[in-house]
């Protein structure tokens, strides 16, 4: 059951990050989920350095924010590689 919640929270985090980074038109629901789940891993790596823990296996606001932060970082890196600048 935890992986289903992780996919849903990852999809929400990826969708919110794509809206913030102006990439929503080029991404579908599948890529939003992928970006959110990979962003969750990146966000957890960053948050653990500051002693903040958040998991997307059990829904929590902290876990959603950590996944969102990681997804924004991931999309910023993708923008930097594809376009040579971060929007």
Instruction: Kindly state the percentage of the chain with pLDDT values over 70.
Output: 85
User: 46-83, pLDDT tens digit by residue?
Assistant: 887 887 766 656 677 888 888 899 999 999 998 888 87
pLDDT of res. 55: 60
Instruction: Kindly state the percentage of the chain with pLDDT values over 90.
Output: 7
Buried b (16+ CB within 10 A) or exposed e, 57-85: eeeeeebbbbbbbbbbbbbbeebeeeeee
The model's pTM: 0.82
Question: What average pLDDT does the chain have?
Answer: 82
Maximum average pLDDT range among 1-5, 19-23, 51-55? 19-23
CA distances from 17 to 1, 21, 37, 51, 85 (A): 24, 6, 12, 23, 17
Give the C-alpha separation, 17 to 80, whole Å: 15
């Amino acid at each position: 059951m935890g992986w289903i919640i992780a996919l849903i929270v990852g999809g929400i985090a990826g969708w919110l990050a794509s809206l913030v980074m102006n990439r929503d038109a080029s991404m579908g629901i599948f890529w939003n989920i992928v970006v959110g789940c990979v962003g969750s891993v990146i966000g957890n790596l960053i948050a653990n350095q500051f002693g903040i823990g958040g998991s997307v296996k059990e829904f929590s606001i902290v876990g959603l924010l950590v996944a969102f932060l990681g997804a924004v970082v991931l999309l910023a890196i993708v923008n930097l590689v594809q376009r040579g600048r971060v929007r």
